[in-house]
Structure 1
Amino acid sequence: MERPSGMSAGVLFRRVLMLCLSLSVVSVSQADELQLLLKLKSSLATPSTTGVFSSWRVGNDKCNFTGIVCNSGGFVTEINLSQMGLVGTLPFDSICSLGSLEKIDLGENRFYGKVVDDLRNCTRLKYFNLGFNSFSGTVPDLSTLSRLEFLNLNNSGFSGIFPWKSLENMTNLGFLSLGDNFFDVTSPFPMEAIKLEKLYWLYLTNCSIRGQIPEGIGNLTLLENLELSDNELSGEIPRGIARLGRLQQLELYDNFLTGKLPLGFGNLTSLVNFDASHNRLEGGLSEIRFLTSLASLQLFENQLTGEIPEELGEFKNLTELSLYSNRLTGSLPPKLGSWSDFKYVDVSDNSLTGSIPPDMCKNVKMTDFLMLDNKLTGTIPATYTDCSSLIRVRLNNNSLSGAVPAGIWGLPNLIIIDLGANQLEGSITSDIRRGKSLAQLLLSDNKFSGELPEAMSEASALVSIQLSLNGFVGKIPSTIGNLTKLNTLNLNGNLLSSSIPVSIVSCVALAVVNLSNNSLTGEIPDSIGNLQTLNSLNLSNNKLSGKIPLSLGLMKLSLLDLSNNRLTGPIPDSLSTEAYHDSFDGNPSLCSQRLEQFRPCISSSQATTPVGVILSCFFAGISLLLIMFAIMMYAKFRKRSKSLKSVNSLCRPDSWNMKSYCVLSFTERDIIDFIKTENLIGRGGSGNVYKVVLGNGKELAVKHIWASCSGSFRSHPSSSAILSKKRKSSPEYDAEVAALSSIRHVNVVKLYCSITSEDSHLLVYEYLPNGSLWDRLHESQKMEMGWEVRYEIALGAALGLEYLHHGCARPIIHRDVKSSNILLDKEWKPRIADFGLAKIVQASPGGNWTHAIAGTLGYIAPEYAYTMKVSEKSDVYSFGVVLMELVTGRRPIESEFGENKDIVHWVREHMSSKNSLLDLVDSNISDTLKEDAVEVLRIAILCTANIPTVRPSMRMVVQMLEEAEPCSLNNILVDKVGENSEKTEGKQLNSGSQN
C-alpha cells in the first residue's frame, strides 16, 4: 500500500487501525440490540421516584424505550439518559456493540468506575457526553472516535494524563469540554486542540495546563466560547486572540497571566462575558471601550491602572462590573448601569474619585453595590431608596458626606449596610424596622448622631451592629434583647448614657460586646454570665458601679476590659490571672487577694468591730446559712430528680439508640452512668463535656446535648435549635455526627459512637489528657513549650485540616478552627475537634452561604463577615491565626494591639524586616530556634491574606510547614513540656474539649 505524501507513519497506522476496528464490529440483529439494552439496564440503579426504565422490558419495542432513538431501519442510534439520577458502572462492551450508535448522552448522573478500552469500538459516535459523573482512572485512548463532533467529559472524576494525541483524528470536533477533572500532571497547552478548526466551544478550565497560550489560538475563528481558567497559564494574552470575531465568552481567571490587554482586543465586538480576574494583568482599559456587547466584565485582582472608560456608561447590555483590587483612578462613568437591568458592581480597593453614579438601580435589579476602599466624595444618591432589590451595600472607607437617605435603612432584601469610615451624618431612622433581612449594620467612624431608635430591635435578623466612633446619644434600646441572633455589638466611642439594659442577656448568640468609651452608669447585669457564647467583653471608660458579677469568672473570655469605671468590691479569684492583668485598672475601689496592683480584700475576721455587732452578724449569718442550706437542698433535690428522670428515660430499653462507628468495648449504660456533675470537665457552645472512665481504665470524653420535652434545646443557654416532642437532632449534633462519623485520621478527634434518646444526644470521643492548645498557651495550665513541640503541633493540626479539605469524598469546612479546638494527647500530638459548626461542601455553583456569623472573634476570616460565603479558605485564615499564637504566644485579641485590632494586624505591622519579625517570637522559644519560628510566621502571614484566593490551600500549607522543619527536630523532641508533663498530668482537664 502506497503511503500518501506528507502522511506520517504514525497517522497512517492509526487510520489503518480504525479501519480494522470498524470492519471488525460484528453486525447485530435488532433482537440482539434489545438484549444489549437490557444488559445496560441491569447494570444501573435508578431513584425510586423515577420511572426511567419502566418502558425498558421484553415485549416493548426498544425504539420506544425512554431515552432511545432508532433510525428508519429500527437500529439504535441514540442513548439519551442525562440527568436521570442513574447510579452504576457502564458496560461499554455492550453499549459499543450497538453498531449504528451515533449519540451517547449520559451526563449529570452518578456513574462510577473506570471507562474501559471497549469504548474504542464506538467508532460511529458523533456525540459523546459523560460530563458531571464520578468516574475514576484515566481517560482511555479515543483516537478511534474520529467522527466525534461533540465531546464532553467535564467534571467526571477522571485523573492521570489526558490522551491529547487522540484529538488529532477528530477533525470534525466542534465542542470540546474536558475541564474540572483531576488530571494530576501539569502539561503544556495542548497544541492538538488549536488544530481543530471547527471548534466553536473549548472548555479547558481546571485542566492542569501550564505555560503560555499559543498564538495559534487565533486560528480557531469559529470559537464562540473559550474557557481556560484555573490553570497555571503564564505570559501575555496572545494578540492572535483578537482574531476570534465570533467569541462571546472568554474566561481566563485564576492564572498567572501578565502584560496588557493585547492591541486589537477591542475587535471582539461579539464578546458578552469577559473574565480575566485574579491574574497579574497591567496597563489600562482602553481596548474595553469598543466591546459594546458586554454584559459581564470581571477583571478584579489584577494590577490594572488608568481610568475606567466613560464609554462603559453607554453599554446597554452591561449587568455586571467587577474591577476590585486594582490601581484604577478617575471617576466612574456617570451613566453607568442606567441603560440595562444592572445587577452587580464591585469597584472596591482602587483609588477612584468623584461621585456615585445615580442610576445603576434604575430598573430595580441591582443586588450588590460595592465601592469600598476608594476616594469617593459627595452624598449617597436618594435614587437608591427605591432599590428594593439590593442585598449588599458596602461603601466604607471613602469620603462620602451628608445624611443617608432614610429609605435605605428599611430596604426589604438588604443583608448588609456597610458605610464605615466616611463623613456621613444624621441619624438612623425608624425606617430600619422594615429591614427584616438586615444582618449587618456597620457605621463605625462617621459623624452619625441622635438616639438609637427602639425600632432597631425590630430588625430581627441583625447579627452584627457596629456603630463605634460616632456621636450617638441617649440610652441603649431597652428592647435590644429581641435581637436573638445578634453576635457582635460594638457601640464604642459614642455619647451613650444610662445603664446597660438587662434585656441584653436575651441576646443569646452574643460573642462580642464593646460598650467602651461612653458614659454608661449603673451596675453590670449579674446575668451577663449566662451569655455562654460571649468571647469578648469591653466595658472600659464608662461610669459603671457596683460589683463585678461572679458569673464573669465562669466564662473563658479572650478579652475582658472593665478598666476606668467606678467598680467596687473584690475581683473574683477566677479573673485574678495574668490573662486579665490590666482588665481592672482605674477602679480604685476594687480589691484582690492575688493581683498586686490592688489592695487586699479585708475579710470579716480581720475587721475590728464592737462585740455586739460581731454577735449580731454571727447570728444573722447562721440564720442566713440555714435558709441557704434549705434552699440549696431543695434545689439539689429538684435537680437530682430531674437528672434522674432524664437518665432513667435514657436507660429504658425503648428510649435510646446507640450507633457505633467502630468496634466498641462498652455499652450505652457504661456511658450514661457517668453523665453527672462531678465528671463535668468542660463547657462549650454546643454542649457540656464529661470524662468517663471505663472498668478497664480506658478514658473517654462525652459531649451531652439535652433537650426538654417542651421542645427547647437546653444543653446551653445560648442554644436556639428547636426540637419537637419526638426525638429530633439539633443542628450542632447533626453537623458533628455527619462530619466525624466517616473520618479516620490520626489528627482528627476520634468519634466512637452516638447515643440518642427522646431528650438527650450523646457523642462519645477519645479522651485527650493534655487538654487544648489554648490552655497550654494562654490559661492556668500554660506551659513553657519549646519550638520543636509547637512545630509538631502546627504540622499535625495542618495535616488534620488538609484531610478535611482534600481527603474526604466531599470537603468538610470546619468553620471554627481555633487553638481551643485543637486538643493534645498524652504525647502532645494534636487532634482537630469540635465539629458543631462544620459544613460539608455542596457542589453548587452559587457556593455555600450562611446568614449568621459562625466562628470565634479573632479567628474569623474578614470576608466571612460581609459575604456570608463559606469556603475552605476561611479555615486557612483561622489556622493562620493559630500559627501566630504558636509563634508569638499571644492571644488572638489583646488590648495592646489597639482598638478593633487583632494579632493579624499586629503581626503585619512588624513585617518590614526579619528583625522585626524576630521580635515577635515568644520569649519561651530559644534564640537558636527563633529563625525557624519566623519561617512559620511567614506561612501564617500568607494564610491570613485579606483576599481569600491569595491564601494557600491546606495542602500547600502542609508542604510549606514540612519545608520549615527545624533542624534540631531530629535531635530534640522533648523539652520543658516533657519535664512538666508528669507533674501536671493528674490535674489536666480536657477543658475546651469537643466544645
Structure 2
Amino acid sequence: MFPSLCYILCFLSVLSGIKSDELPILLKLKSALSTSNSKVFDSWVPTNSVCNFDGITCNSNGFVREIELANKNLSVSGALPFDSICQLQSLEKFSFGFNFLSGIITEDLNNCVKLRYLDLGNNVFTGSVPNVSSLTELQYLYLNNSGFSGDFPWKSLQSMMGLLQLSLGDNRLNPAPFPNEVLNLKNLTWLYLSNCTIKGEIPAGIGNLTELRNLEFSANMISGEIPADIGKLQKLWQLEVYNNLLTGKFPVGFGNLKSLEKFDASMNHLEGDLSELRSLTNLDTLQLFENKLSGVIPVEFGEFKRLVSLSLYRNKLTGPLPEKLGSWAEFDYIDASENFLTGPIPPDMCKKGKMTELLVLQNNLTGEIPLNYANCLTLSRFRVSNNSLTGIVPAGIWGLPKLKIIDVALNQLEGPVSLDIKQAKTLAQIYARNNRLNGEIPEEISKASSLVSIDLSENQISGKIPVGIGELKQLSSLHLQRNKLSGSIPDSISSCSSLSDINVAQNSLSGKIPSALSSLPSLNSLNLSQNEVSGQIPNSFISLRLSLLDLSNNRLTGPIPQSLSIAAYNGSFAGNPGLCSSGVISSFRRCSSSHGMSKGVHVLIICFTVGLVMLLVLLAFFIYSKKNEKERQGSLKEESWDVKSFHVLSFTEDEILDSIKEENLIGKGGSGNVYKVNLSNGKELAVKHIWNTDSSGLKRSKSSTPMLGKRGGNKSKEFDAEVQTLSSIRHVNVVKLYCSITSEDSSLLVYEYLPNGSLWDQLHTCQKMELDWDTRYEIAVGAAKGLEYLHHGCQKPVIHRDVKSSNILLDEFLKPRIADFGLAMIVQVHGGKDSSHVIAGTHGYIAPEYGYTYKVNEKSDVYSFGVVLMELVTGKRPIEPDYGDNKDIVNWVCSKVKTRESILSVVDSRIPEDYKEEAVKVLKIAILCTAKLPTLRPTMRTVVQMLEEAEPCNLVGIVISKDGTGKRMDVNQQRKV
C-alpha cells in the first residue's frame, strides 16, 4: 500500500513540474504584448495558477488547452513567441483575432501539432502567411483581414482534411486561380475567400462541399458562369459572389438551395430571368443590382415570408412588382430603380412598420401612391421619381418624422404640399418637379428646418412664396420655376444664408427685386426671368459673383449696373423695355440723367475715364522704357499671342505678360510656374505659365530664364478643346478661368486669385490656421460638390486626375475651389467615358488601381478625395513616418477601425470632443471612398449626398447604391459568426 502511495505522489510531483513549465511560457507571451485594456493581464502573475489566468482554459489534467485573447486591444512589441507558445503540448485553441498585432511572423507553427483553432484574423501583420502545413488537426483557420500578402500556401490545406471553417479573405494575396485544394475539404461549413485576388472560373467541383453553410468569394476577378454543381449545396444559408466578372444565367438547379437566406450576386454581368430563384422561399436578403437580368420578377417573391431587403436596380427587368411583396416580415428596403417595371407600387411593404427605404425610381410604374406609406413612420428615403404615377400624394408622406428625401419628380401626381410638412424635422431634400401639384406652399414649410434642396418646379402651384422660408438656414437650392406663383419675392429669403441657387422663373411674381439678395454669400445662380418684377436692378447687385443671372422678360426700369454689363450676362436683361444702358450694351437705349443718373455718378464716370486714360499713358511709357531690356532678355512679348477670353476681361494681355517675372512667383508645379498678378484696378489674379513640349516630350526653354526661346514647341493637340471645356464650367466650387493666352511655345492660363491659399497650407504648413469643425465640414461639402459637377454636371465628364488638398484653394470666406486641372498632361477620353490612359497624381493620393491598370476613371478622383477627407478629419498628411514603411493615411485609418475608442483616437486633437462623433461620420465616408476596388467606391454624387446627410452608419454593413442605398460596402469586412 505504501509503495503504491509513493508512486502516486511521485507521479503528481512530475505532473506538477510539467505544469509549472507552462507558467514561464505564458509570462513570456505577456511580456511580448501590450494593451490599452489594463485589466487583461492583471491575473497573469506568478502567484496564480495558470488555469486561473484570464483568457486561459485548462483541460481536466490542468494543462493549458485554450488561449482566448481576441478583441482585447492587444499590440505586440517585437514578435509573437510562437516557438515557446507551441511548447504548450496540450494547446488546442489560439485566438488572437480583432487586435492590433503587427510585424512579420517568421517562426513556424509546426510544433503546435494539437492545434484545432487558430485565429490571427483582423490584425495588421505584414509579410507572407506563416507556415501552417503541419497543423493536421486544424478545424478552424481564420487569417482574414490580417495584413498578410504574397502567395498563400494552398497545398498545405491537403493535410487539413478536418477543416470546418476557412477564412482567408481581405488580404493582399498574389492573384491565383480558384484553389482546387479547397474542393477536397469535404467537412467545410464556412468558406470566406472574398477580396483576396482570386481569378478564373468557379470549378464545377464546388458541389462536393455539401456541408457548406456559408460561401463568400466576392470582390475578386472570378469570371465565367455559375456552375450548375452549386445546386448541390443544399445546406447553404449565405452565398455572396458580388463584384466579380460572372456571366451567363442562373443555372438549372440553382433553386435547389432551399436553405439559402442571404444571396448577393450584384455587380456582375449576369443575364437571363429570375425563374430559378422563385423556390428560394427562405431568402431574407436578395441583392442582384447592376447586372443584365431581364424578364419579370417572379410572383413567388411576394410570398417569401422572411424577405426583408431586396435590391434589383440597374437591370432590364420588366412586368410588375409582386403585389404582396414585403408584406409578411419586418421589411426593411427595396431598390428596384432603373429597370422597365410596370404596374403599381406594392401597397404593404411597410405593413409591419419597419421599412426605411422605398426606391423604385426610373421605371414605368403606374397607379397611385398607396395610402399606407403615409403612416410608415420609419421611412427615411422615399424615391418614386421618373415613373407614370397619378393621383394625389398622400398628405402624411410630407410629414414623416424620419424622412430625409422625398423624390416624386417626373410623374403626373396631384395635390398640395400638405401642412404635415411641419413635422418633417429631418427632411433635407424635396424633388417634385414636373408633376401637377397645386395649392399653395404652406407657411409650415419653415418648420422643416433641415431642408437643403427644394424643387417644386414645373407644377401648378399658386399663391405666394411663404415669408417663413427665411427660417430655412440650411437651404442651398430653391427651384420654383414654371408655376403660378404671385406676389413679391419676400425679403426674408435673404436670411437663407446657404442659398446658392434660386430659380423662380416663369411665374407671375411682382414687386421689386429684394436688394438684400446681394448679401447671400454663396449665391451662384439667380433666375427671375419671365415674371412681372418691376423697379430698378438693385445697385447692391454689383457685389454678386454669379455664374448665371437672368432677369429677362420682366418690367424692370432704370439703368443696368455697369458691373453687370458683361458678355457673360448677354440676354440676362432682354425683354425689359424700361431698362437703359450707359452705352456698354448696345441693344439698350442710352441712359440719361433722368434715368437715375445722379450728378455724383457723372463725376464718378468722368474720374474713371480720366484715370483710365492716365493709366494707358503710363502703361505705354512703361512698355516703351522696358523695351530694350526685354529684347535683351528674350521677352515673352516676342511671341505672337492668341487670347481667348471666357469672361469680360478688365485687364489687357500686356498686363499679364509683364507680370510673369520672378518677384511675382508664388508656386511651382510639374507643368509650369504660378504667378500672382496685381492689376492696376486693384484686382488680383493667378496666372499659370505652362511650357509646351517638343516632340520628345521635353520642355522647351531658354537657359535659366522663364522665357521661351526657339519656336517650334509642340502644344498638346487637346489643349484648346480642354480649355474650352474648362472655360464653360460655371460652378461656385471650381476655380474660375478668365482666359487663355497661347503661343507656339508657351501657354498662360489666367484664373481668379484665392487669398487663403490651399487646404494643404491651412492644415499642414506654418501658414495653417485653426480650422474649426464647421469650417472643415463646409470645405468637404463644397469640394465634393465641385468634383460632383465635374463628373456629372458637364456635357462630358471631366476627370481631374490630381485631386489633393493643395489643389483645393480657399477664398476669403474659406469657401473651397477645385483647381489645377493638370492641363499640361491633358488626354481626351477616346475610349468613351470609362477611362483615361494617363498615369497622373501625387503620392499618397493615387488610387491603387494604378498598380495594375492604366485605365482609370472618375472613381480614381473619388479615392483621392477620400484621402482629402481623411486629412480634414485627422489633420495628418497622406504620407507620414508614423504610418510605417510603405504605409499611407488610408492604411493607417483602416487599421484603426477596430473599436470605437480607436476610431475616435484618429480624429484631430484640435477638434473639440463635442464634434468628434460628427467627424467620425465623415471619416466613414472617407473609408468608403478609398475602397481598394473602384467599383466599391461611391460616385461623387453619392458622396455629396452622404456628406449632406451625415447619416450614422455601422462600420460593417454600410448600405449604399446609386442613390445612397441598396448595397453593403464593408468598411472592414469581418468574419460573421
TM over 0.5: yes
Decide whether aligned partners of structure 1 residues 607 and 165 sit closer, same or farther in structure 2, where only a CA change above 3 A counts. closer
Decide whether aligned partners of structure 1 residues 947 and 341 sit closer, same or farther in structure 2, where only a CA change above 3 A counts. closer
1:188 alignment partner in structure 2:
177
Find the partner of 1:345 among 331, 334, 343. Answer: 334
Decide whether aligned partners of structure 1 residues 774 and 116 sit closer, same or farther in structure 2, where only a CA change above 3 A counts. closer
2:160 equivalent to 1:170: yes
* Offset at residue 260 of structure 1 (A): 0.9
SS at 1:451's partner residue? coil
1:421 alignment partner in structure 2:
410
Cα distance in 1 between the residues matched to 2:419 and 2:43: 63
1:67 alignment partner in structure 2:
55
Cα distance in 1 between the residues matched to 2:480 and 2:492: 16
1:826 alignment partner in structure 2:
none
Give the number of aligned pairs.
708
Structure 2 residue identity aligned to 1:334: E
The answer to whether the Cα contact below 8 Å between 2:559 and 2:595 also exists between their aligned partners in 1 is no
Cα distance in 2 between the residues matched to 1:568 and 1:264: 77
The answer to whether the Cα contact below 8 Å between 1:306 and 1:330 also exists between their aligned partners in 2 is yes
Unpaired runs of 5+ in structure 1?
Answer: 1-26, 622-677, 693-699, 707-712, 714-719, 722-728, 738-744, 755-760, 766-770, 778-784, 818-838, 849-863, 882-944, 954-995
Greater Cα shift, 147-156 or 531-540: 531-540
2:141 equivalent to 1:83: no
1:642 alignment partner in structure 2:
none
* Offset at residue 58 of structure 1 (A): 2.5
1:539 alignment partner in structure 2:
528
2:461 alignment partner in structure 1:
472
Cα distance in 2 between the residues matched to 1:281 and 1:776: 38
Decide whether aligned partners of structure 1 residues 413 and 580 sit closer, same or farther in structure 2, where only a CA change above 3 A counts. same
Q: Within 5 A, what are the aligned runs for 1:694-773?
A: 721=774, 731=777, 748-749=804-805
* Offset at residue 164 of structure 1 (A): 1.3
Find the partner of 1:158 among 148, 151, 160. Answer: 148
Q: Deviations over 1:457-476 (max 9, x none)?
A: 11111121111110001111
Q: Within 5 A, what are the aligned runs for 1:420-439?
A: 420-439=409-428
Structure 2 residue identity aligned to 1:234: S
* Offset at residue 406 of structure 1 (A): 1.4
1:803 alignment partner in structure 2:
846
Unpaired runs of 5+ in structure 2?
Answer: 1-15, 607-681, 687-730, 736-752, 758-764, 784-800, 830-835, 851-859, 870-891, 904-921, 944-960, 970-977
Find the partner of 1:238 among 215, 223, 227. Answer: 227
Cα distance in 2 between the residues matched to 1:558 and 1:470: 26
SS at 1:210's partner residue? strand
Find the partner of 1:871 among 916, 921, 929. Answer: 929
Cα distance in 1 between the residues matched to 2:550 and 2:927: 32
The answer to whether the Cα contact below 8 Å between 2:863 and 2:929 also exists between their aligned partners in 1 is no
Decide whether aligned partners of structure 1 residues 78 and 548 sit closer, same or farther in structure 2, where only a CA change above 3 A counts. farther
1:291 alignment partner in structure 2:
280
2:163 equivalent to 1:105: no
2:137 equivalent to 1:147: yes
Decide whether aligned partners of structure 1 residues 701 and 150 sit closer, same or farther in structure 2, where only a CA change above 3 A counts. closer
2:210 alignment partner in structure 1:
221
1:317 alignment partner in structure 2:
306
SS at 1:352's partner residue? strand
The answer to whether the Cα contact below 8 Å between 2:67 and 2:95 also exists between their aligned partners in 1 is yes
2:409 equivalent to 1:406: no
2:104 equivalent to 1:46: no
SS at 1:121's partner residue? coil
Q: Within 5 A, what are the aligned runs for 1:887-898?
A: none
2:254 alignment partner in structure 1:
265
Q: Within 5 A, what are the aligned runs for 1:315-464?
A: 315-464=304-453
SS at 1:401's partner residue? coil
SS at 2:467's partner residue? coil
* Offset at residue 43 of structure 1 (A): 2.4
The answer to whether the Cα contact below 8 Å between 1:396 and 1:422 also exists between their aligned partners in 2 is yes
The answer to whether the Cα contact below 8 Å between 2:803 and 2:864 also exists between their aligned partners in 1 is no
The answer to whether the Cα contact below 8 Å between 2:734 and 2:819 also exists between their aligned partners in 1 is no
Find the partner of 2:86 among 74, 84, 96. Answer: 96
Cα distance in 1 between the residues matched to 2:389 and 2:780: 46
Structure 2 residue identity aligned to 1:87: S
Q: Deviations over 1:263-302 (max 9, x none)?
A: 0111111111111111111111111111111111111111
Q: Within 5 A, what are the aligned runs for 1:451-530?
A: 451-530=440-519
Q: Deviations over 1:660-693 (max 9, x none)?
A: xxxxxxxxxxxxxxxxxx999899989996479x
Q: Deviations over 1:427-448 (max 9, x none)?
A: 1110111111211111111000
Q: Deviations over 1:367-399 (max 9, x none)?
A: 111111111111111122221111111111111
SS at 2:187's partner residue? coil
Structure 1 residue identity aligned to 2:99: N
Q: Within 5 A, what are the aligned runs for 1:787-802?
A: 798-799=841-842, 802=845
Cα distance in 2 between the residues matched to 1:348 and 1:76: 57
Cα distance in 1 between the residues matched to 2:556 and 2:825: 41
Percent of pairs identical after alignment? 48
* Offset at residue 746 of structure 1 (A): 9.5
Q: Within 5 A, what are the aligned runs for 1:595-634?
A: 595-599=584-588, 602=591
* Offset at residue 57 of structure 1 (A): 2.1
SS at 1:94's partner residue? helix
The answer to whether the Cα contact below 8 Å between 2:98 and 2:898 also exists between their aligned partners in 1 is no
Q: Deviations over 1:103-123 (max 9, x none)?
A: 111111111111223333322
Structure 2 residue identity aligned to 1:51: K
Structure 1 residue identity aligned to 2:126: S
TM-score by length of 1: 0.64
SS at 1:480's partner residue? helix
The answer to whether the Cα contact below 8 Å between 1:399 and 1:423 also exists between their aligned partners in 2 is yes
Q: Deviations over 1:304-327 (max 9, x none)?
A: 111111111111111111111111
Q: Deviations over 1:696-741 (max 9, x none)?
A: xxxx9957679xxxxxx8xxxxxx94xxxxxxx865589999xxxx
Decide whether aligned partners of structure 1 residues 540 and 210 sit closer, same or farther in structure 2, where only a CA change above 3 A counts. same
Q: Deviations over 1:910-956 (max 9, x none)?
A: xxxxxxxxxxxxxxxxxxxxxxxxxxxxxxxxxxx979999xx9xxx
Structure 1 residue identity aligned to 2:929: S
Decide whether aligned partners of structure 1 residues 702 and 534 sit closer, same or farther in structure 2, where only a CA change above 3 A counts. farther
The answer to whether the Cα contact below 8 Å between 1:542 and 1:565 also exists between their aligned partners in 2 is yes
Structure 1 residue identity aligned to 2:449: S
Find the partner of 2:238 among 221, 245, 249. Answer: 249
Structure 1 residue identity aligned to 2:91: L
The answer to whether the Cα contact below 8 Å between 2:804 and 2:865 also exists between their aligned partners in 1 is no
Q: Deviations over 1:889-914 (max 9, x none)?
A: xxxxxxxxxxxxxxxxxxxxxxxxxx
Q: What is the Cα-based RMSD across aligned positions, in Å?
A: 4.7
The answer to whether the Cα contact below 8 Å between 1:249 and 1:272 also exists between their aligned partners in 2 is yes
Structure 2 residue identity aligned to 1:312: F
The answer to whether the Cα contact below 8 Å between 2:803 and 2:865 also exists between their aligned partners in 1 is no
Find the partner of 1:114 among 101, 104, 123. Answer: 104
SS at 1:167's partner residue? helix
Greater Cα shift, 396-405 or 132-141: 132-141
